[in-house]
Every structure is written in structure tokens, then in C-alpha cells.
Amino acid sequence: MYPFNYHRPSSLADAVKLAGGDEAKIMAGGMTLLPTMKQRLAAPSDLVDLNALGLSGITIAGGKVTIGAMTRHADVAGSAELKKAIPALAELAGMIGDPMVRHRGTIGGSVANDDPAADYPSACLALGATIVTNTREMAADDFFVGLFETALQPGEIITKIIFPVPEKANYQKFRNPASRYAIVGVFVAKFAAGVRVAVTGAGSGGVFRQFDFEDALLKDFSAKAIEGIKQSADGLNSDIHADAAYRAHLIGVMARRAVEAAK
Amino acid sequence: MASVTLTVNGKSVTRDVDPRTLLVEFLRENMRLTGTHVGCDTTQCGCCTVHVNGEAMKSCTLLAVAVDGAVITTIEGLARGEDLHPMQAAFREHHGLQCGFCTPGMIMSAVDMVRRKGSDLDDKTIREELEGNICRCTGYHNIVKAIHYGAEAMGKMGTAAE
């Protein structure tokens, strides 16, 4: 690791100020950032640790679930209220990494990092979440821009994420057995107004919506309704774990499983 | 340099460290508590697992400065004098190790598992919950067995809450 100046601000205003520096990096749980720094792939001059800001906790009211950006995966996975409101979201959090990583990693960190194989971006996109920062609110559809790229400006800090409660939802993940990241993950959410399907792990541009599945599921919310829809392999990742054609196949399989398991 | 104060195995310790210092380096190199191992150094193997404010975490992926003020328990902090912790005793009794390198992390994870899941653990739960700990010798069979009996012993002794 290259040397850096460490900061642990106790107010959001101070954190924003510190994070605005040219070579500054924001650290939430650090479960991705620290390994990246250890490999010398990141070399921030200043590390701004958000762990003294609070910003954690889950509140459910008026058909919406609000999760503070610094809420740990273990706390999302274990929340009895969330398991009732959006069980798919609690289950998703319980599939991230391993128990030790879940004790430290945060939802805000995961969403801000926008790893193309991370789990949370699919939940944000499929549930139509609102990402709230120190300056504005953004729809998930506008937030995720590309590989490790979001609409966040330098120094902008996610404070909370608001999820509308769906009628039913489910997340199915085909895991890389070594890294636990999604080779393909599909989150399906059914609302009174429509159906949203988001795919992670597969797209070369990061998380994306599968509109053909959404249209078919709106007419008939059943696995059979999407059985005949071919997912194109164009724009999907090929790597040593799975090629694009295999990922395309998995998207259909995972989506059908998610529809069948949705509750 | 940054000042870090931790309570490690019940003792308060304050040191000035480079902000880059990982918690595992603080424990091993500064405090000479070498029971916490570094296997992969990439958050995968779990050999460096310690308890931070009662929760299992991987100390190779935590900055010591970032856990300033925390209560840390390492493998050296589990036994009571000459008496092994029930989970340590179970690993010895059921031969839950061969080379022993992963064992401190396995035991720290196992104790945390009992805190979260209770003392009546089936094999499926144990195997699932051990996904963050890698052993290259045993094939896990006796580790799973040891955790099963260790958890049961913790339940009987009322140590599940640590």
C-alpha cells in the first residue's frame, strides 16, 4: 500500500470537504477499496473514512424502505422488518461475500463502487430505488452509468437509499464459487404499475434492465411467459469463468427461477 | 503517524502507527500476537479472522486506525487460563486440523457462528457459514464435526454469548 493521509470526519460537511480533494478516496466498509490499495491499483493521497458519520439503520414507512448508506450487509440480511417488507433484499444481502465481509461491507459502498458483478446494483435498478446523496436524489436508472462508473460527482457522498416496497420480488444469483461474486444475478420485482428485471454480473457495461422480460412478465407474471424469449449474447462479458453465450443462457434461467420464487 | 487505542483480549493498548498499518499487522508485529495468521492477504482465506466489537472480521482487510477504540478478541484471548475455550477443545478432541495454519481463523469464525446461529448447528449451516474460511489440508470433514461439538459444548456451558 502506498502512504496516504487518513481522515475520519465526524460530520457529513467535513467529509464532503475532505473528499473533494483531487486524489482523495472515500472509504465506507473498505472491503473493495483496501484490497485495491494493497495491490497498488489505487493510491489515494487522502483516505476519508465514513465510519464516524452514523448514516446507518433501516426504516420502513409508507410503502418505502430507507437504508442508511453505512448499513452493513449483515444488518440488512438480519433485519426482521426488512424480511417482512422486501425479503428478496434481505436475502440478497445475505449472499454477499462471506460472514466476515458482511460484518464490515456497506450498502452505500457497494452501490458507489458499482462493481459490474456486485449484487446491490441489481436490487436498486429492479426496485426502482432512489439514491440520496449530500446534494441530490437520483433514480437508479440514472445512477448506474457503466463499469465502476456512477453519476456521483467527485466528493459527492451517498447518505441513504430508498426502496419502494414491491408486491413481490426475488433475486437469483449464479455465483462464482471462488469469489462469491455473481457470474449472473437477476433481480425481478413486480409492482402494481409494472415489472422490472435487472441483470448483474453479465453486462460489459455493468448492471442493466432486461426490457423484453419486463414486457412479457407484465402481461403474465410466470416463468413460462419468458421461456421463449432469447437473450442476446451481444454486449455480455466473456472471461475464464463463463463466455457470453453461457451468460446469456444463464440470464434466462436465473430470471425464470426468480419469477417462480418471487414473494 | 496516527495514534490507535484498542482493547485487545481485555487489555488496553495505545500505539503510534503509520495509517497504512493493517489490523493484522498491528496484532502480529506490534503486539506480537502471532496466533492470528496471514494466509492469502486478499480477504479470502479467513486465517486472519478476529472479533471486532464482538463480530468476526478479516483483520488483513481492516486498517488499525479505522477500528480505533474497538474491542478486539484474538485466538489468544479465548482460553481462560489453562482451560481451553470449548471450541478450541472440540478442535483438539475431534482432530479438526492437520497443519493448523487456518485453525485460529476457523475457531474465531466458529465462535462467531454460535453467537449468530445458536449452539444447535447442523452440517449444512456450518458448511455454509464457513464459506469465508479456507483449509487446504483436511477436506473440512473434521472441522465441521469439531464445530458441531464445540457449539454444543458452548451451549451447555452457557458461553454462546461469549
CB B45 within 8 A of CB B103: no
A11 and A67: one domain? no
pLDDT in tens, A112-148: 999 999 999 999 999 999 999 999 999 999 999 999 9
Q: What percent of chain B has pLDDT over 90?
A: 96
3-state secondary structure of B130: coil
A18 and A100: one domain? no
Cell matching residue B71? 474491542
- For chain A, what is the mean pLDDT? 97
A218 and A163: one domain? yes
pLDDT at B149 over 80: yes
pLDDT at B31: 97
Instruction: Name the domain count of chain A.
Output: 2
pLDDT at B161 over 70: no
pLDDT in tens, A172-192: 999 998 888 999 999 999 999
CB A186 within 8 A of CB A122: yes
A26 and A79: one domain? no
Closest-CA distance, B80 to chain A, in angstroms, reads: 25
Nearest CA in chain B to A27: B66
A143 and A32: one domain? no
Q: What is the mean pLDDT of residues B50-59?
A: 98
pLDDT at A6 over 90: yes
A101 and A17: one domain? no
All CATH 1.10.150.120 domain ranges of chain B, comma separated, are 86-157
Sheet containing A137-139, strands listed edge to edge, beginning at the edge strand earlier in sequence: A58-61, A64-68, A158-164, A130-133, A137-139
pLDDT band at B158 (very low <50, low <70, confident <90, very high): confident
CB A100 within 8 A of CB B132: yes
Residue where the block lists cell 453505512: A70
What CATH number matches the domain at B2-77, 3.10.20.30, 3.40.1390.40, 3.40.47.10, 3.20.20.150? 3.10.20.30
Which one of A5, A30, A49 has the shortest CB-CB distance to B61?
A30
Predicted structure pTM score: 0.95
A103 and A18: one domain? no
A68 and A166: one domain? yes
Q: Nearest-CA neighbor of B27 among B74, B62, B65?
A: B74
A36 and A118: one domain? no
* B52 chain-A contacts, CB cut-off 8 A: 103
pLDDT at A178: 81
Which one of B2, B68, B132 has the shortest CB-CB distance to A101?
B132
CB A144 within 8 A of CB A115: no
Q: What is the interface pTM, i.e. ipTM, of the complex? A: 0.95
CB A17 within 8 A of CB A23: no
Q: Give the Cα separation of A172 and A255 in Å (integer).
A: 7
HSE-up of residue B44 (Cα within 13 Å, Cβ side) = 12
pLDDT at B159: 62
pLDDT in tens, A39-82: 999 999 999 999 999 999 999 999 999 999 999 999 999 999 99
CB A198 within 8 A of CB A186: yes
Which one of B43, B109, B132 has the shortest CB-CB distance to A35?
B43
pLDDT at A158 over 70: yes
Residue B160, Cβ density class (10 Å: 0-12 exposed, 13-18 middle, ≥19 buried)? middle
Q: What is the mean pLDDT of residues A241-255?
A: 97
- Tell me the CATH number at A42: 3.30.43.10
A33 and A126: one domain? no
A71 and A25: one domain? no
Q: Give the Cα separation of A18 and B61 in Å (integer).
A: 23
- For chain B, what is the mean pLDDT? 96
Q: What percent of chain A has pLDDT over 70?
A: 100
pLDDT in tens, B56-106: 999 999 999 999 999 999 999 999 999 999 999 999 999 999 999 999 999
Q: If one looks up domain B86-157 in CATH, what number appears? A: 1.10.150.120
CB contact under 8 A, A30 and B66: yes
pLDDT at A179: 83
A62 and A9: one domain? no
Cα–chain-centroid distance for residue A201? 11
**Residue A29 belongs to what domain range?**
5-49
All CATH 3.10.20.30 domain ranges of chain B, comma separated, are 2-77
Query: A51 touching B, CB under 8 A?
Result: yes
- Tell me the CATH number at A183: 3.30.465.10
Cell matching residue A21? 480533494
Of the listed ranges A18-22, A104-108, A157-161, B68-72, the least confidently predicted one is A18-22
